[in-house]
Structure 1
Amino acid sequence: MKVLLLVFALVAAVSAQTEPWCRCAAFVTYEHSEIMVFEAPEVTIDSCVDDAKQCKRACATELNTLSNNGDLWFMQENGLTVGQDICSYLAGHFFFWMRNHRVYGYYEVCGGAWEYAGVESQQMLCCDGGKHEHCIAKEE
Structure 2
Amino acid sequence: MRNHLVLILAMMATAARGFSNCRCGLMTTLTNGMDMIYELPALDMGSCTNHFECKQRCTKEYNDLTHNGDMYHMIDAFTSVGQFLCQEFKYDLHNEYVYPYYELCNGPWQYADSHSKQMLCCRNHEQYQCTSRGL
TM-score, reference length from structure 2: 0.80
Structure 1's consecutive aligned runs of 4 or more residues displaced over 2 angstroms after TM superposition are 17-20
Contact 2:20 2:42 in 1 (8 A): no
Distance 1:125 1:118 in 2: 18
Structure 1 segments unaligned to the other structure (5+ residues): 1-12
Partner of 1:21: 21
Q: How many residues align?
A: 119
Contact residue 62 and residue 68 of structure 2 kept, 8 A: yes
Select the structure of larger CA radius of gyration.
1
CA deviation profile, 1:6-53 (whole Å, cap 9, x unmatched)? xxxxxxx9xxx79461000101112322111011111111211x2010
1:128 & 1:20 partners in 2: Cα distance?
A: 34
| Deviation for aligned residue 1:78 | 7.1
Q: Structure 1 stretch 71-80 or stretch 116-125: which is displaced more?
A: 71-80
Residues 64 and 119 in structure 1, CA contact (< 8 A), matched pair in contact too: no
Distance 2:95 2:71 in 1: 12
Instruction: Note if contact 1:20-1:47 (Cα within 8 Å) is conserved in structure 2.
Output: no
In 2, Cα distance between the equivalents of 1:131 and 1:36? 17
3-state secondary structure, aligned to 2:62: helix
Percentage of identical aligned residues: 34
Aligned-partner Cα distance in 1 for 2:88–2:122: 11
**Which whole-Å deviations, capped at 9, do the CAs of 1:42-100 have from their partners, x for residues lacking one?**
1111211x20100000000110111011000011147411111111112xx3x2x2110
- Say what the alpha-carbon RMSD is for the aligned residues: 2.1
Distance 1:78 1:41, change over 3 A: farther
Deviation at 1:129, TM superposition (A): 1.9
SS of aligned partner of 2:130: coil
| Other-structure match for 1:8 | none
Q: In structure 2, how many angstroms separate the alpha carbons of the residues matched to 1:85 and 1:78?
A: 12
Which one-letter code corresponds to 1:128 in the other structure?
R
Equivalent residue, structure 1, for 2:56: 57
* Residues 78 and 46 of structure 1: CA distance in aligned 2, closer, same or farther (over 3 Å): farther
**Match status 1:135 vs 2:134:** no
Q: 2:24, 2:103 within 8 Å by CA — same for their partners in 1? A: yes
Which residue number in structure 2 is paired with residue 114 of structure 1? 109
